[in-house]
Amino acid sequence: MSEDRTKSDVSEESRFRLLIDAVVDYAIYMIDPDGIISSWNAGARRFKGYEEAEILGQHFSRFYTDEDRRAGLPQRALDTALREGRFEGEGWRVRKDGTRFWCHVVIDPILDSSGTLLGFAKITRDLTDRKMAEETLKQSEQQFRLLVQSVTDYAIYMLGPDGCVSNWNPGAQRIKGYKPEEVIGQHFSMFYTPEDREAGEPLRTLDIAVREGRFENKGWRLRKDGTRFFAHVVVDPIWGETGRLLGFAKITRDITEASQSQQALEKAREALFQAQKMQAIGQLSGGIAHDFNNLLTVILGNLEIVRKRMADDPKLTRLLDNATQGAMRGVSLTQRMLAFARRQELKAEPVDIAALVQGIMGLLRSALGPSVKIETFFSADAEPVLADVNQLELAVLNLATNARDAMPNGGKIVLGTRMEVVLDQSQSTLAPGRYVCLSISDTGEGMDDATLASAMDPFFTTKGVGKGTGLGLSMVHGFIEQMGGRFRLKSEKGKGTTAELWLPVAKAGAVAGPQALEQVTPQVPRLNVLVVDDDSLVLTSTCLMLEDLGHRVSIADSGAQALQMLEGDQRFDLVITDMAMPHMSGAQLAQAIQIMMPTLPIVLATGYAERLDGFAARLPRLSKPFTQHNLVEIIAAAMT
């Protein structure tokens, strides 16, 4: 029986040894009470590198690093196991080849039934891969923390699932003004404006981030000092491995300056587009007005000749009067188009605005009607301005009429002046200098922003089809700009409109106001006149009017032909040439004539006010459309 039990114990011990040897992921071996290795399994051989014959009988401290041996860690581990019944820890160990590995160690004391220490059971597990992964993760987290802490242009911080701030980087402190201890633990809604908090924007932000996986938006936020800044915000939810919401990552960027720069750029682009549009329309309007003036010259000239030559028949006279009135309306329209295009012929002279307004007050009262009250206030220190009297009167009448139309039930119009000084051109569209601002205010319906933005566009009108050309304000704008001033409109829906005409102050010593001169038709002897124009209708009409005045007329349809005729045997007393001609302009022709015949008088005829330099700028100018009386006056001026 005893022999059978012994066989059974041996068999059980063999199975146990086979089990231990089969384990390759753990080093399992025995140590005697002095720390000498007494057994060695396959797992120990695999990751420590020693064969059983090499290690049995050796002290287990050889697996420790030199520094750990010097510190007495091997003996301390055995003492702890004996004293506490178990030792467990992690640390670096050394393989046979000298390389190190990180391991988890458990040492248990082995006692017999009487409590005598037989030795120690030691289990070691190689955790090098895990340790390296932890070190890598730790290094990555440290680098990420350093990265986040070094960012000062972005507020980067974490929120708990409840929206409370859990950390705070220097960028957040710089942008929002709070120190970490002031904000950690507080709800992030403290950064929102009161109106956004009332609207539930903070809660909506987190809901969208959870539901859609990300929230991104722009909006106003508050700093610690109460000031607002425009922010770009991104919120991302953070999920645990089990799918539990751990919190939110929030990144905020202050884009106030960028937003303001973008708005300024958009305004500049809009202003450039508007300027280009106005310039293009102005060029088109000027060209149309020039061609239309040629036609009106023909129409008015021929009507004038027909009126002089026909019999005194009331019916025919009425027809001619109607035709002439229609043509004069065309003249008025072309003048408005030229004013918008800034190509009208202007006579700049000193003007006393107060005297000018008082001079047309009777006309204003009759035009505006009894339901409109007119008030004036003129600054005592207002100086004479540089302007064209006729155009300024038309501008005031035009603006007053617009004000009346904006007050269908009556109201009040106030005209006044004040002095203004522009010091820095970078802050204004005006050149530095002194200006008088003439304001015309009404108590009418006013304009909304969209209407106000389009009010000065050519052909824009709110008066309905057939009730306005839409060129009135454009004409005023063009006239004022051409005089070196500025036209401004201010309006608010339901609160009336104010039009401001800024005009430059005339030079010191100038006498304001035009002097009324008696119109006297000058006497001119019969002349031999050369007329040059590329438009055959204008050429014929001008020739007929001159011949009707008793002059002898020759014609040329180009500058080159005119020069050939001047080089011939025929002698001329005067040359009247159109300004806008192909190949050779009137100014170029005049320059050539001046070289050939310095004493020959020259008149330039033009449909709009070109800018001329040199000799041509000093020549008399005949504005189209013109009449016989205009021809008589300009010929007299040229021959004196």
514: Cβ–Cβ under 8 A, 6 or more apart, which residues?
349, 389
- Among the candidates 132, 162, 182, a domain finishes at 132
For residues 545 and 477, which has the higher predicted lDDT (pLDDT)?
545
Average model confidence (pLDDT) across the chain: 80
Residues 308 and 383 in one domain: no
Cβ-contact 293, 334 below 8 angstroms: yes
- Among the candidates 70, 101, 132, a domain finishes at 132
Q: What is the pLDDT of residues 515-533, one digit of tens each?
A: 433 444 556 678 999 999 9
For residues 507 and 504, which has the higher predicted lDDT (pLDDT)?
504
Candidates 414, 433, 435; CA nearest to 499 is 414
The pLDDT value given to residue 439: 92
Residues 393 and 483 in one domain: yes
The amino acid at residue 26 is Y
268-290: average pLDDT: 62
120-145: average pLDDT: 74
Residues 482 and 550 in one domain: no
Whether the pLDDT of residue 205 is over 90: the answer is: yes
For the chain, the straight-line distance linking the first and the last C-alpha, in angstroms and rounded, comes to 162
Does residue 326 form part of some domain? Answer: yes
Q: What is the pLDDT of residues 234-249, one digit of tens each?
A: 999 988 878 889 889 8
The pLDDT value given to residue 470: 42
472-499: average pLDDT: 82
Does residue 108 form part of some domain? Answer: yes
Q: What is the percent of the chain where pLDDT is above 90?
A: 29
Does residue 459 form part of some domain? Answer: yes
Structure tokens at 629: 């009386």
Listed ranges 285-299, 349-363, 441-455; the one with the highest mean pLDDT? 349-363
Q: What is the percent of the chain where pLDDT is above 70?
A: 79
151-174: average pLDDT: 85
Residues 353 and 468 in one domain: yes
Cβ-contact 42, 23 below 8 angstroms: yes
Residues 494 and 621 in one domain: no
520: Cβ–Cβ under 8 A, 6 or more apart, which residues?
none
Does residue 265 form part of some domain? Answer: no
Q: What is the pLDDT of residues 360-391, one digit of tens each?
A: 888 788 778 888 899 998 888 888 998 878 77
Does residue 122 form part of some domain? Answer: yes
Whether the pLDDT of residue 501 is over 80: the answer is: yes
Residues 333 and 219 in one domain: no
- DSSP of 362-412: HHHHHHH-TTEEEEEE--TTPPPEEE-HHHHHHHHHHHHHHHHHT-TT-EE
- Binning the chain into helix, strand and coil, the percentages to the nearest 5 are 45, 25, 30
Residues 105 and 162 in one domain: no
The pLDDT value given to residue 460: 47
Does residue 635 form part of some domain? Answer: yes
Return d(Cα 163, Cα 169) in angstroms, integer: 17
Q: Report residue 59 CA to chain centroid gap.
A: 81
Residue 19: how many CA atoms within 13 Å on its side-chain side? 6
Q: How confident is the model at residue 186 (pLDDT cuts 50, 70, 90)?
A: very high
Domain of residue 567, residue span:
528-639
Between the CA of residue 99 and those of 65, 95, 106, 216, 505, what are the distances in Å? 10, 5, 21, 51, 95
By CB atoms closer than 10 A (0-12, 13-18, 19+), residue 6 is exposed
The pLDDT value given to residue 64: 94
112: Cβ–Cβ under 8 A, 6 or more apart, which residues?
118
Whether the pLDDT of residue 307 is over 70: the answer is: yes
- Between 361-368 and 389-405, two packed helices, what is the crossing angle to 10 degrees? 30
Give the three-class secondary structure for 292: helix
Does residue 448 form part of some domain? Answer: yes
The pLDDT value given to residue 276: 63
Q: What is the pLDDT of residues 605-618, one digit of tens each?
A: 886 655 666 677 78
- Among the candidates 132, 161, 192, a domain finishes at 132
Residues 374 and 464 in one domain: yes
Return d(Cα 348, Cα 258) in angstroms, integer: 46
CATH number for the domain including 378?
3.30.565.10
Residue 31: how many CA atoms within 13 Å on its side-chain side? 26
Residues 224 and 168 in one domain: yes
Q: Report residue 237 CA to chain centroid gap.
A: 34
The pLDDT value given to residue 437: 92
Whether the pLDDT of residue 71 is over 90: the answer is: yes
Return d(Cα 589, Cα 576) in angstroms, integer: 11
194: Cβ–Cβ under 8 A, 6 or more apart, which residues?
none
For residues 508 and 636, which has the higher predicted lDDT (pLDDT)?
636
Whether the pLDDT of residue 9 is over 60: the answer is: no
CATH number for the domain including 571?
3.40.50.2300
Residues 317 and 225 in one domain: no
Residues 326 and 362 in one domain: no
Return d(Cα 477, Cα 471) in angstroms, integer: 10
Return d(Cα 63, Cα 59) in angstroms, integer: 9
Cβ-contact 198, 244 below 8 angstroms: no
The pLDDT value given to residue 136: 64
CATH number for the domain including 213?
3.30.450.20
The pLDDT value given to residue 305: 77
370: Cβ–Cβ under 8 A, 6 or more apart, which residues?
none
Q: What is the pLDDT of residues 393-425, one digit of tens each?
A: 878 888 888 888 888 888 999 999 999 888 876
The pLDDT value given to residue 414: 92
Domain count within the chain: 5
- Phi/psi class of residue 196: alpha, beta or left (left: φ > 0; alpha: ψ in -120 to 50)? alpha
Indicate yes or no: pTM above 0.85. no
Residues 118 and 16 in one domain: yes
The pLDDT value given to residue 149: 58
Does residue 75 form part of some domain? Answer: yes
